[in-house]
């Protein structure tokens, strides 16, 4: 019998990479999306072409109760839930001097509250069905390393990481594991997309990669590899942990600005 993976926010970027990777690993997939219907439809077609079942659900995770309702509906229609991946989230950068209540509420509701109550819903389903499942929350390397203008975003991601540890203790008696994956700089936009934005250089990811110890920006597949490991039985004795997927980005405290010294250049000078 196929295992079921439910993923929030998977029509694009990291979530899409996770959905495809888990489908290739033999999971049937239920995923949510907010507005990218065309991308959601293409992802569904890709997964079904792999011989897996796939259901896409439109849900605005900023709305109270939307996340848990999605998880419950997907689990009912797919008849099970082995893995929940809380990926839906939004990045908002503002200096503490410019911070607005709207941004704070948005990030707390979407990135924190939604993840907490999706975890709760998934855990109750797993317990009811006697499933020793896995919950994986996508946080960020910013949960560990501070940067300017990320007081709320980084703070919220840190809160998810800390909440996951307590959830891991709450759910351990049921054999349900809770872990986090913390991406660093992940290239989720093409050069064509960056060209349309105009204010971000098209070589942004390549240039940033020169300042990362492993000398490249990450990919959605890099994150998906870590998620798949935590979802699988080979990590059956791991809970309450965070795997950082950042190529070593935050180890030297590397600034993200384009004018900082190149990591690669420093290495060559040495």
CA-derived radius of gyration, the chain: 18
Distance CA 39, CA 268 (A): 42
Tokens 């060209």, located at residue: 195
Q: Is 193 a catalytic residue?
A: no
CB 44 within 8 A of CB 18: no
CB 204 within 8 A of CB 194: yes
Helix (H/G/I), strand (E/B), else coil: 204: helix
From the list 153, 174, 193, 237, the catalytic residue is 153
Instruction: Pick the closest to residue 204 from 186, 221, 222, 220 (CA basis).
Output: 186
Instruction: Pick the closest to residue 145 from 185, 115, 112, 88 (CA basis).
Output: 185
Helix (H/G/I), strand (E/B), else coil: 127: helix
- For the purposes of burial, counting CB atoms within 10 Å of the CB of 31, is it exposed (0-12), middle (13-18) or buried (19 or more)? buried
By annotation, the residues acting in catalysis are 153
């Amino acid at each position: 019998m196929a295992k079921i993976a439910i993923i929030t926010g998977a029509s694009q970027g990291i979530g899409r990479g996770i959905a495809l990777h888990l489908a290739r690993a033999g999971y049937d997939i239920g995923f949510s999306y907010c507005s990218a219907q065309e991308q959601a439809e293409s992802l569904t077609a890709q997964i079904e072409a792999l011989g897996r079942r796939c259901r896409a659900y439109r849900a605005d995770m900023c709305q109270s109760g939307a996340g848990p309702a999605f998880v419950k509906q997907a689990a009912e229609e797919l008849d099970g839930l082995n893995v929940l991946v809380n990926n839906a989230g939004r990045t908002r950068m503002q200096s503490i001097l410019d911070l607005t209540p709207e941004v704070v509420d948005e990030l707390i509701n979407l990135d924190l509250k939604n993840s907490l109550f999706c975890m709760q819903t998934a855990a109750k389903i797993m317990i009811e069905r006697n499933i020793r499942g896995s919950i994986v929350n996508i946080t960020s390397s910013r949960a560990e390393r501070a940067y300017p203008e990320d007081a709320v975003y980084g703070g919220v991601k840190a809160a998810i990481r800390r909440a996951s540890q307590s959830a891991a203790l709450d759910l351990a008696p049921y054999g349900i594991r809770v872990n986090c994956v913390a991406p660093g700089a992940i290239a989720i936009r093409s050069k064509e997309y960056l060209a349309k934005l105009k204010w971000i250089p098209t070589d942004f990811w390549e240039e940033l990669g020169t300042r990362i110890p492993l000398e490249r920006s990450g990919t959605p597949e890099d994150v998906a590899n870590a998620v798949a490991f935590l979802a699988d039985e080979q990590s059956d004795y791991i809970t309450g942990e965070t795997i950082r997927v950042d190529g070593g980005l935050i180890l030297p405290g590397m600034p993200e600005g384009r004018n900082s010294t190149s990591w690669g250049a420093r290495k060559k000078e040495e």
